[in-house]
Chain A
Amino acid sequence: MAAEEGKVDPMHQFHIEPILGSQNWEIAGFNIAFTNSSMWMMITAIVLFLFVWGGMKRDLVPGRWQVMVESSTGFIEDMLDANIGKEGKKYVPYVFSLFMFILFANLLGLLPLGIIGVHPFTFTSHFTVTGVLAVISFAIVLLVGFWKHGFHFFSLFVPHGTPLPMIPIIFPIELISFLVRPFSLALRLFVAMMAGHVLLKVLSSFVIDGTNAGIGFGLLVGLPSFALMIGISALEILVAGIQAYVFALLTSLYINDAENLH
């Protein structure tokens, strides 16, 4: 659906454009050009690195920055401790990186840099990116589960105290609900981010078109839409945090299944 002249196309912000390289840079049929998506992934990784690096001073009396970093690692450590137990400590590096990467990606994508002509790209609003993150989490669950419990891992699909005649029914249901996990994990983050950004752009088209239609429409439609946009932006910051938290929380719950069965 192409946008007509002068209209805001809410889907244009998700276009992936090559910044370095072109459509011809291919390996085995896959384009490897450096796109705006990869650029924002790099920016996120660099910002995250600087954030953590600035807080690694190990002072006895921590400064503000060190408290910020230590409380974010402590937050993840507490979450893993509550959900997995003392076994969870070895997953702190992975879940911390996952949580902070998603959080920083979501927040950087919300920055109002459009004012100075730079358009931030929210790569968590693409199913390929969130899908890979979810598949990594799921792969860790499978590896840990089979490494630790061998084929006993399949007892995860038969809850305790299931009556014998119920097992043929329960087993496929539990198996499907297990296999759909990476899909739902990826879908939740991707859709939540995409929906918020589409909503903001649709509201912005109300403001622009309303104001262009004359002062009456501008006051009647443009101004309330603009007020709503400010509110939705605040909500989006909340959603960015919640979605990163939910992703990390569900990952830790799934790892708990693999560590402790149930």
Chain B
Amino acid sequence: MDAEAAKLIGAGLAAIGAGMAAIGVGNVFGSFLESALRNPGAADGQQGRLFIGFAAAELLGLLAFVVAMILIFVA
């Protein structure tokens, strides 16, 4: 296989990571909403934790994007 083709396939495979992060972010917000509807009084106090969880899940997806960008434009 050509090196250029391998790079592009690798970048495409890195997109799987973005999809996985989407599952993670959806999980964070979904679980938050589920429990916030059960106890709306406690929901506002947990918003900081919600965004920490979101940031942690999102970072991994962004890393997958960085891998793809490095493969296409740098490597």
| A residues lining the B interface (CB < 8 Å) | 1, 11, 79, 82-83, 184, 187-188, 191-192, 194-195, 242, 245-246, 249-250, 253
Chain B: residues with Cβ within 8 Å of the partner, total of 14
B63 adjacent to A79 (CB under 8 Å)? no
Q: Does B9 contact A (CB under 8 A)?
A: no
| B residues lining the A interface (CB < 8 Å) | 48, 51-52, 54-55, 58-59, 62-63, 65-66, 69, 72-73
Knowing A11-B73, A79-B48, A83-B48 are in contact, say whether A246-B55 is a contact too (CB < 8 A).
yes
Per a CB cutoff under 8 Å, which of B48, B59, B69, B72 touches A188? B59
A191 adjacent to B48 (CB under 8 Å)? no
Knowing A1-B72, A1-B73, A11-B73 are in contact, say whether A188-B62 is a contact too (CB < 8 A).
yes
A192 adjacent to B58 (CB under 8 Å)? yes
- The majority secondary structure among interface residues of chain A is helix
Per a CB cutoff under 8 Å, which of B52, B59, B72 touches A184? B59
B55 adjacent to A250 (CB under 8 Å)? yes
B51 adjacent to A242 (CB under 8 Å)? yes
With A187-B62, A246-B55 given, name 14 new contacts (CB 8 A). Answer: A1-B72, A79-B48, A187-B63, A188-B59, A191-B63, A191-B66, A194-B69, A195-B62, A195-B65, A242-B54, A245-B51, A246-B51, A250-B52, A250-B55
A253 adjacent to B62 (CB under 8 Å)? no
Q: How far is the CB of A169 from chain B (nearest CB, A)?
A: 22
Q: How far is the CB of A122 from chain B (nearest CB, A)?
A: 16
Which partner residue on chain B sits nearest A250 by CB separation? Answer: B55
Q: How far is the CB of A88 from chain B (nearest CB, A)?
A: 13
Tell me the complex Cα distance, A94–B48, Å: 19
